[in-house]
Amino acid sequence: MSSIESTAVPATSAERSQDLLYSLTEIKSRVQQTAGGRDVTLVAVSKYKPSSDVLACYNHGQRDFGENYVQELVDKAAQLPTDIRWHFIGTLQSNKAKILAAIPNLYAVQTVASVKAASGLDKALSNDRTAPLNVLIQVNTSGEDAKSGLSPLTPSTASEDAQLVTLARYIVTSCPRLRLQGLMTIGSVSESLAKDKPNHDFETLKETRDSLERILRNDRMVPATWGEDGKLLLSMGMSSDFEAALSAGSDIVRVGTGIFGERHKKGES
């Protein structure tokens, strides 16, 4: 990007930049240690945090950032370096798909949960994009009313007409500009707090992924159109439980507070 663009973002104080370097380094090393050599992605969740914080982390080498709100993401993406990989992790309203799709360096939308949203994204994406947009289907593993996402699959409920299966097939067969990259869950706070036993939400997402992969393979769909080498990735784990998530097999962790500190705004998830 040009230096003219970068002047749109004021620099952080040296002290803030040091703090961010410290916490980012600590989280990265904990991720690395727990991942045990597996290739995992740390998404730095920067919602409500100023672009200057994002730029400081960028200058410390971080490239993957997550945002929950469409307008906030649009504004930040316009100001910040164009090689940032933006992950949209907020609730996706299908009428916002077009605005999201216009962000050239949008890397992934982790919260697709309807055919309408997938179709909206696919149709709105430009032919000029060099790579397909990664999408993850959000799964409501805890079954809480307040959480978005489709019902998980278990070996006994993994039926051909489950909504999740229908949506996955739709993305793979009918959305040429999307790549089904994996599944995402938020999980319940109580599961996250009960650290002495396996996290039920993480286990459920894994089971759902295994069932879905089996179904897609049986469909004999062209492997290149979904997953990484025919494997679907798992996006699970946040500040309070990313190590447990990585131990359970997570490929993508989304850490906000652990890097940027507490958020001070009402009404956030």
Ligand X SMILES: *Cc1c(COP(=O)(O)O)cnc(C)c1O
Binding to ligand X (CB under 6 A) within 124-163 occurs at none
Q: Which of 73, 150, 178, 186 binds ligand X (CB under 6 A)?
A: 186
Q: Residue 20 or 165: which CB sits closer to ligand X?
A: 20
CA separation, residue 6 to residues 60, 85, 86, 103, 242 (Å):
16, 17, 17, 17, 32
Token pair 């410390």: residue: 60
Residues 164 and 150: beta-carbon distance below 8 Å:
yes
Residues 243 and 30: beta-carbon distance below 8 Å:
yes
Q: Residue 209 or 254: which CB sits closer to ligand X?
A: 254
Q: Residue 45 or 153: which CB sits closer to ligand X?
A: 45
What residues contact 110, with CB distance under 8 A and at least 6 apart? 66, 87, 88, 89, 135, 136, 138, 184, 235, 252, 254
Per rule CB under 6 A, is residue 238 in the interface with ligand X? yes
CB of 215 to ligand X, least distance (A): 26
CB of 267 to ligand X, least distance (A): 12
Per rule CB under 6 A, is residue 187 in the interface with ligand X? no
Residue nearest ligand X, Cβ-based = 256
Q: Residue 109 or 153: which CB sits closer to ligand X?
A: 109
Structure tokens at 92: 């996706």
Per rule CB under 6 A, is residue 118 in the interface with ligand X? no
Per rule CB under 6 A, is residue 256 in the interface with ligand X? yes
CB of 74 to ligand X, least distance (A): 17
What residues contact 148, with CB distance under 8 A and at least 6 apart? 91, 111, 113, 138, 140
Q: Which of 59, 148, 151, 239 binds ligand X (CB under 6 A)?
A: 239
What residues contact 36, with CB distance under 8 A and at least 6 apart? none
Distance, in Å, from the CA atom of 154 to the CA atom of 164, rounded to the nearest integer, reads 12
Per rule CB under 6 A, is residue 44 in the interface with ligand X? no
Q: Residue 109 or 215: which CB sits closer to ligand X?
A: 109
Task: Name the burial class of residue 82, with classes exposed (0-12), middle (13-18) and buried (19+) by CB atoms within 10 angstroms of its CB.
Answer: exposed
Q: Residue 23 or 172: which CB sits closer to ligand X?
A: 23
Residues 1 and 81: beta-carbon distance below 8 Å:
yes
Per rule CB under 6 A, is residue 54 in the interface with ligand X? no
Distance, in Å, from the CA atom of 107 to the CA atom of 66, rounded to the nearest integer, reads 10
Binding mask 55-94 for ligand X (x = CB under 6 A): -------------x--------------------x-----
Residues that bind ligand X (CB under 6 A): 45, 47, 68, 89, 186, 238-240, 254-258, 269
